[in-house]
Chain A
Amino acid sequence: MTDILQVDNLSLSFGGIRALNDVSFTASKGEITAIIGPNGAGKTSLFNSISGFYKPDSGRVVFEGADISRVAAHRRAEIGLARTFQNVALFRGMTVLDNIKLGGHGRLKSNALSAMWYLGSARREEMQLRSEIERDVIDFLEIDHIRNQPISGLAYGLQKRVELARALAMQPKILMLDEPVAGMNREETEDMARFILDIQEERGITVLLIEHDMGMVMDISSKVVVLNFGEVIGSGTPHDVRANPEVIRAYLGGGHDKVVPTLTEEAAT
């Protein structure tokens, strides 16, 4: 198992607030790594640092052996980092299909002139993208019935799925999902979990996952990293993490000595 992504001693502060403090972890190629922690623990800040929106004060992000800490966000997308957002960040003025097509942006080459006359190369490239997307993304995520609908009319669960589709259309090496099942009901959550597992198992894409739904996290991830107040307080297999007293304290607060043993016991069974 090789590490495709490595985060080394990442620190980030906004004014006087330390969002991330000396955070280090690795994600293995082709596995699902979950990042959990209470609200405000710095999970999304960590994602933003990895995808290049935030410039960390110190530390580095290593992707496939290369330090990408100074690479611009849009370049990181081109080399294989895709992500979704906590609050759906789709383009509301476009149809589902156009949103997904944007995932293929980096792979297309046509320039303004050939685009304006829809000349041979531009047309061919667009048609190829269309059939790729239909085959690999739209059919796969079962959203063919809404492909020509505008985003604004879609149910929330479907919007989340379209956002996943868009990220998948990038043919990424790492897929970073920020709370993919937040606000979903049980059935939608199970659908999404199945898609994420399929993406990892069938396509070998490494998944980085932020999620509050512990059931899903424990079920599908092979490694869990726990953040609290911007620091890593535990990491390991779901089983280890569940038994980690530090983690339990972070979730339930201190002074719950009576509860802690029961939870650990329960986790152990």
Chain B
Amino acid sequence: MRIRDFHQSYAHDEAIWQTPTSRLWLAALFIALLLFPFTANGYIVGLACVLGIHVIGAAGLNIMTGYTGLISLGHAAFMGVGCYTAAWLGQRGLPFYLTIPLGGLVAALLGLVVGIPSLRIKGLYLAVATLAMQFILVFVFREWESVTGGVRGVNVPNAELFGIELNNDFRMYYVIAFFAVLLLVGARNLFRTRIGRAFIAIRDKDISAEVLGINLFRYKLLAFAIGSFYAGVAGALLGYFYRAMTPEYFTLTLSIFYLAAVIVGGLGTMLGTILGAVFMTLVPELLRAVVSFIAQWAPRAVEVLSPMQEIVFGLLIVGFLVFEPHGLVEIWRRVRRFFHLWPFRA
């Protein structure tokens, strides 16, 4: 039931959280995020950390692909750039609250370079160009041993704040949650302003965007830079979370993982980003839990069920795409619409 939704000013009409009810839920969510690590065991907190990182990474890709229409298959490589930058700077004594944004910044600069072809090539052609970047960067990660440690990988020093070592999942959780909330709010705000609108305009009809005075080249580059910044921050956080990293992590598979997350969640919505990242991160874990649960009674079934996990996960993705092409966010919206009218009309 949606009530007290009467707008008396433009500012109110443009607010993200418009009703007292929705603001209440937001506050509840915030408190839940704060208290969550106290109620969960270590494994779950670790999972939440990974999820938070994936949300940031997926948000970056959604800004590029979902909102601006620039398909990227090189997102994982930009995460790698952020991770190695943070590791390198961290080894030289810089604190994590500087290395993480700087990791994002270096990734953003590289994103600017990779974005240059985007003025000329679109769609699948651009995807192939970013794919090339993915392979080139992973090659660099493997070969530039003095910085990246090559295939043996690199150690990331512990993050430290006010003399407290952030050396466990419980403490890292708050760092990751801080960045995730900050960057999601930032992304959501971006699409209330001229810049976000320009991105969507370029995606929907670039010719129209141009006659409205939007400099296509500048805004496409900006989308690449912002998207890559998010990837870089996610990569840097990943480094601090695992404390060691090898090039094997930032392969094409991870790029596809993010692409799948934004498509399953919903292209061009921030809520979809979160839902997609949750789906892609937690569903495999859930399936694993189910298998181990069954294994308690039928130990031999595991042989069959373990490979089944991947198949079921794949089928779930296909299923959601077939039945809800607009992503999980559309399911959420349907449910919400129902409750807006309930109980007056079911």
Contacts and interface: CB of A to CB of B under 8 A. Distances in A.
B216 interface: yes
Contacts of B13: 130
B340 interface: no
A53 B193 contact: no
A17 interface: no
Interface residues of B, number: 34
B10 A94 contact: no
Interface stretch (A28-36, A59-67, A115-123, A205-213): A115-123
Interface in B169-193: 185-187, 189-190, 192-193
Contact of A122 (B193, B205, B226): B193
A115 B211 contact: no
A104 B189 CA distance: 18
Interface stretch (A19-27, A74-82, A235-243, A256-264): A74-82
A94 B204 contact: yes
A103 B208 contact: no
B212 interface: yes
A134 interface: yes
Interface string A242-267: 00000000000000000000000000
Interface stretch (B74-82, B195-203, B310-318): B195-203
A93 B207 CA distance: 15
A158 interface: no
A176 B197 CA distance: 23
Contacts of B194: 101-102, 104-105, 108, 110, 115, 125-126
A227 interface: no
A74 B215 contact: yes
A85 interface: yes
Q: Interface centre among B13, B197, B200, B209, by most A CB within 10 Å? A: B197
A77 B198 CA distance: 14
Interface string A108-140: 101110011110001001110011001000000
A105 B214 contact: yes
Q: Interface centre among A81, A91, A92, by most B CB within 10 Å? A: A91
Given A85-B208, A89-B207, A93-B200, A115 B193 contact: yes
A80 to B, nearest CB: 10
A102 B194 CA distance: 7
A73 B211 contact: yes
Interface in B213-272: 213-216, 222, 226, 268
Contact of A117 (B186, B207, B215): B186
Given A116-B189, A127-B14, A74 B201 contact: no
22 contacts: A51-B211, A74-B211, A77-B211, A77-B213, A82-B211, A85-B208, A91-B200, A91-B209, A93-B203, A93-B268, A102-B212, A105-B194, A105-B198, A105-B213, A106-B213, A108-B194, A115-B193, A126-B14, A126-B193, A127-B11, A130-B14, A170-B213
Interface of B: 10-11, 13-14, 185-187, 189-190, 192-198, 200-201, 203-205, 207-216, 222, 226, 268
Given A73-B211, A98-B200, A105-B197, 7 more contacts: A74-B211, A90-B205, A101-B197, A116-B190, A126-B192, A126-B194, A130-B14
The 6 closest A-B pairs by CB, nearest first: A77-B213, A106-B213, A116-B186, A91-B204, A115-B193, A89-B208
